């Protein structure tokens, strides 16, 4: 049973075929959405057989994985100038989030689906899931950068957790954006505008000695809880379980 060469040895030709399939899929997803795009259409557009498409991507969902990577790369690129220019925490945060919305806009319809898959813990696409740990780490790292490059003073205990908190906040923004039907997603941009200011004020408040007890309580809770919330059952060493996702979809 030759499994798909997900991260495994890749020949140059295989690599090219794989890329062609992914590109075809992303193009169709963007043009028609996810459901309307059949694996058969993807295969045809890529000029390969249906079976061959499945050789490279174990399921239709796995094709979405390529989207995450692409999306984050685009985001990094768009955020670069902001991070280079701004030193104010709020300005950095705001710029990075708006960059996220900008780069995601062409995929708005499609992103809804992503969020659906992302909420399913069994899905390999779930950002909490081990397989996507990489994507999540990178997103958190970006928030760490937002913070590190700012002149804001943040208590050490909070600073350790803040990037993760900001990432969760970013997820919330994206969730709103996904549901946002306003023209040009204007309301999402307003939301970023408003809430980044609030976040900045809260972070500033966190240094207030009067609020130290509360801050410490919050950080302690985070510490206790942050031990990988998705520490799900390890996959049995040396092989896939008998059926993949045997129970839930």
Partner DNA sequence: GTCTATAACCGGATAGAC
Partner DNA sequence: GTCTATCCGGTTATAGAC
Contact between 230 and a second copy (CB under 8 A)? yes
Q: Give the range of 4-12, 19-27, 43-51, 231-239 binding a second copy by CB under 8 A.
A: 231-239
Residue 195 sits in the site that holds a second copy (CB under 8 A):
yes
What does the alpha-carbon distance between residue 155 and residue 140 come to, in Å, rounded to a whole number? 19
- Per-residue contact string for residues 35-64; x = within reach of a second copy by CB under 8 A: xx----------------------------
Query: Could you tell me which residues come within 8 angstroms of residue 149 by beta carbon, excluding any fewer than 6 positions away?
Result: 83, 86, 87, 92
Among 121, 184, 235, 241, binds a second copy (CB under 8 A): 121
Report the alpha-carbon distance of residue 125 to residue 19 in Å, rounded: 19
Question: Closest Cα partner for 30 from 102, 114, 120, 100?
Answer: 114
Instruction: List the one residue from 39, 140, 171, 222 that touches DNA (CB under 7 A).
Output: 39
Q: Is 221 in the site for a second copy (CB under 8 A)?
A: yes
Q: Which residues, 6+ apart, have CB-to-CB distance to 185 below 8 Å?
A: 101, 105, 108, 177
Considering only CA atoms, which of 147, 153, 149, 192 is closest in space to residue 169?
A: 192
- Range 71-110, binding a second copy (CB under 8 A): 109-110
Q: Within 13 Å, how many C-alpha atoms sit on residue 175's CB side? A: 10
Q: Decide if residue 128 touches a second copy (CB under 8 A).
A: yes
Among 22, 25, 37, 132, binds DNA (CB under 7 A): 37
Tokens matching residue 26: 């992303």
Question: What mask of x and - would describe binding to DNA in positions 40 to 59, judged by CB under 7 A?
Answer: x------xxxxxx-xxx-xx
Judged by the rule CB under 7 A, the positions of this chain that interact with DNA are 1-2, 5, 9-11, 13-14, 16-18, 35, 37-40, 47-52, 54-56, 58-61, 244
């Amino acid at each position: 049973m030759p499994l798909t060469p997900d991260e495994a040895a890749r020949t140059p030709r295989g690599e090219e075929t794989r890329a062609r399939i992914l590109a075809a899929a992303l193009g169709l997803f963007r043009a028609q959405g996810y459901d309307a795009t059949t694996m058969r259409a993807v295969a045809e557009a890529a000029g390969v057989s249906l079976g061959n498409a499945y050789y490279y991507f174990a399921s239709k969902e796995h094709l979405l994985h390529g989207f995450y990577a692409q999306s984050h790369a685009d985001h990094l690129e768009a955020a670069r100038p902001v991070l280079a220019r701004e030193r104010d925490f709020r300005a950095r945060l705001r710029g990075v989030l708006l960059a996220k919305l900008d780069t995601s806009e062409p995929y708005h319809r499609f992103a809804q689906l992503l969020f659906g898959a992302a909420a399913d813990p069994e899905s390999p696409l779930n950002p909490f899931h081990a397989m996507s740990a990489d994507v999540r780490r990178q997103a958190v790292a970006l928030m760490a950068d937002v913070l590190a490059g700012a002149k804001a003073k943040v208590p050490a205990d909070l600073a350790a957790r803040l990037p993760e908190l900001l990432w969760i906040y970013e997820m919330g923004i994206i969730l709103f954006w996904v549901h946002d039907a306003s023209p040009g997603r204007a309301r999402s941009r307003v939301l970023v505008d408003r809430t980044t200011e609030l976040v900045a004020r809260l972070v500033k408040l966190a240094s207030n000695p009067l609020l130290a007890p509360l801050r410490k309580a919050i950080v302690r809770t985070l510490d206790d809880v942050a031990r990988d919330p998705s520490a799900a059952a390890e996959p049995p060493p040396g092989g896939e379980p008998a059926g993949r996702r045997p129970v839930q979809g």
